[in-house]
Structure 1
């Protein structure tokens, strides 16, 4: 099968869309399929081109940084996209969180009569509300137009599927995300790192993710005020300067990836996520795979990932006091921390990228079969 992955983001970007697109391309290649990745161009940080070593082609479309958020690149109009689909002899177009480049990918797929599977992954309407204070309806019109044109839309959680259905998007199916349970494991817990992060033996509470307004990381300020607790922040983004002021005593480690990130995850005592707009929340799964108890808002993707009281704790969205209370509860009860961490680790064991990758191939196969049946 020849699959063109048209994605709004791809490594070296570090975010959920980029990571999922990368894992999808890797899995397709491992299974003997022929992926082509089409993504916005990014500035190279050094002489090496990371795409040159990939075992599948990556086409970079000229792009510009998003004003006020340079970590996000917006692809410019280009005729190269449609030409690439034709040259690749694409069977299925995979649209990863389509909005700008993905919308053009959908247009090209329609013109070339290629089936398309659209993966809903970003709460763009929520972002419009957060960043602009308006534009939710316009964002949903864009989402609805792109996804309605697709042969199938894949939602990462039941909350996302419900949102799509409520806004009139048809043909929605669930497709969750995988987690690397070999990389993210309790065995990477590092005593020396813990001493460095919390020299006084404090309970280490970590957040991992982008530092942006929609993540509401400032809600961890109440945790910073707790005695015997050290807050550790992993990630970067436009909110970092303000968060350094809002989270006194917190350790900011910057953006981490790979084994270094896994070592930090496993060395935490508690993982706390604060953003209520997650369509899935990959970092919750990575914390669970690392055997770390999770605190997350009772909204969006975490509702599928966290069984309150068994695999983690859910708190009301936006409630800084509730986050602090949950941390205090876990700080006072090591047995509960251990039980939640163990149960979280157990529940993600079957959620490997191999398993969800094969599910994705199943979706492609069904879409192709439906197209063939209609043509006949």
Structure 2
């Protein structure tokens, strides 16, 4: 029976321009409003990480558009407690803490439970945010219900296995990633490295979706002499890192910078490795977790930003540092390959080559004019990468997927029931 549900008005044929930060352009575009979206979040508030941050910015945009949104996420405790966040109903599933990460929760329940929740909400599209455990159940549920999905590949989970001493799990984890994204209607990745990585694994329905940066919050004007004096009272230049203090971030590699003269290493963030890192880096200043304006002030007050982690599909903190007028030295793998332009906005060192890391840091810390030039180029390079622009690009992907899925599959039992209900 034909559905009375109005079809989306945005019919697109996405094509990448080839520029790493230019959104894919639809060949035909009209305006669509009132999309019904379910976001299945592998992690969410109160845990703040890259996944949560992206979801919150997307929710702000969808709320402004007037879309109806539901978030499915792990609970914050052993009970199933739901809430409202940025206009979206957050359906919490019972969860348990991840071993070694008491603040990270893993959702319980099977495919059928997620299927019932989605069937009750009846979304036009399901957004799978960094799917792995809950996202695997959700993509199976949507496949059974006939709902199109947009999966966000954001975390290189399989590569964490060796870092955590369980390399035998890497193949299993990659099989899980493959199965999720082969079922998804479309997968979006944040970098050319991730794009090539998934295409190399036979996942072909994949496109690019970057991340925005709040340049009103992260900008050079936030630099604070008082903050600098509080962490480096002797006037030393500040080498800063921002991120989770966890095994996969490889923060211990920064020990190679510990004895650089007239510098102070500042670590912003928290996590299970903090105590071990404090022992390994006794002269560093550990600022703990910072957010909002406090984080923006800290980042802008750095002289140089360093990021040693090799498993970043994007690396939002690099983008925030660049917006703040801070040049970057990062490992030459993953997301940083797109973000940092060698000899212009920073340096990329060969993964594992800590002597090169040290040399690049010395190069910039020892040359004020070069560092200022790199800083200015870094700030200029991120202009225009706003969250409203990137969120609008995501909505174009939503509507493209909705339209193409309807053309290829016709009305499903779920969409037909929308049109016949009263």
TM-score (norm 2): 0.85
Counterpart pick for 1:153 among 187, 190, 213: 187
Take 1:64 and 1:272, find their aligned partners in 2: how far apart are those partners?
34
Q: CA deviation at 1:318?
A: 2.0
Q: CA deviation at 1:145?
A: 0.5
Higher relative contact order (CA 8 A, sep 6+): 2
User: 1:222 and 1:347, CA in 2 relative to 1: closer, same or farther beyond 3 A?
Assistant: same
Partner of 1:272: 306
Contact 1:271 1:292 in 2 (8 A): yes
Partner of 1:36: 70
Partner of 2:86: 54
Contact 1:221 1:248 in 2 (8 A): no
Partner of 1:334: 368
User: 1:215 and 1:372, CA in 2 relative to 1: closer, same or farther beyond 3 A?
Assistant: same
Question: Does residue 304 of the first structure (1) align with residue 376 of the second (2)?
Answer: no
Partner of 1:114: 147
Question: Does residue 210 of the first structure (1) align with residue 256 of the second (2)?
Answer: no
Take 2:301 and 2:51, find their aligned partners in 1: how far apart are those partners?
26
For structure 2, the residue ranges without an aligned partner over 5 or more in a row are: 1-34, 411-422
Which one is further off, 141-150 or 75-84?
Answer: 75-84
User: 1:50 and 1:151, CA in 2 relative to 1: closer, same or farther beyond 3 A?
Assistant: closer
Partner of 2:359: 325
Which runs of structure 2 are paired with 1:167-246 in the superposition (5 Å)? 167-246=201-280
Take 2:82 and 2:343, find their aligned partners in 1: how far apart are those partners?
42
Q: CA deviation at 1:71?
A: 2.8
Contact 1:217 1:274 in 2 (8 A): yes
Take 2:386 and 2:85, find their aligned partners in 1: how far apart are those partners?
24
Question: Does residue 67 of the first structure (1) align with residue 99 of the second (2)?
Answer: yes
Contact 1:5 1:25 in 2 (8 A): no
Which one is further off, 54-63 or 256-265?
Answer: 54-63
Partner of 1:165: 199
Take 1:50 and 1:116, find their aligned partners in 2: how far apart are those partners?
23
Contact 2:161 2:170 in 1 (8 A): yes
Question: Does residue 84 of the first structure (1) align with residue 117 of the second (2)?
Answer: yes
1:335-372 C-alpha deviation (Å, 9 max, x unpaired): 11111111111111111111110111111111111112
Q: CA deviation at 1:183?
A: 0.8
1:246-269 C-alpha deviation (Å, 9 max, x unpaired): 112101011111111111001111
Tell me the secondary structure at the aligned position of residue 168 of structure 2. coil
Contact 2:82 2:91 in 1 (8 A): no
Take 1:318 and 1:346, find their aligned partners in 2: how far apart are those partners?
29
Q: CA deviation at 1:303?
A: 0.2
For structure 1, the residue ranges without an aligned partner over 5 or more in a row are: none
1:225-258 C-alpha deviation (Å, 9 max, x unpaired): 1111100001111111111111121010111111
Q: CA deviation at 1:170?
A: 2.3
Take 1:13 and 1:311, find their aligned partners in 2: how far apart are those partners?
31
1:145-179 C-alpha deviation (Å, 9 max, x unpaired): 11100100111101011111111212011111111
TM-score (norm 1): 0.96
Take 1:336 and 1:359, find their aligned partners in 2: how far apart are those partners?
35
Tell me the secondary structure at the aligned position of residue 309 of structure 2. coil
Contact 2:77 2:94 in 1 (8 A): no
Tell me the secondary structure at the aligned position of residue 376 of structure 2. helix
Partner of 2:170: 136
Tell me the secondary structure at the aligned position of residue 196 of structure 1. helix
Counterpart pick for 1:105 among 94, 117, 138: 138
Q: CA deviation at 1:51?
A: 4.4
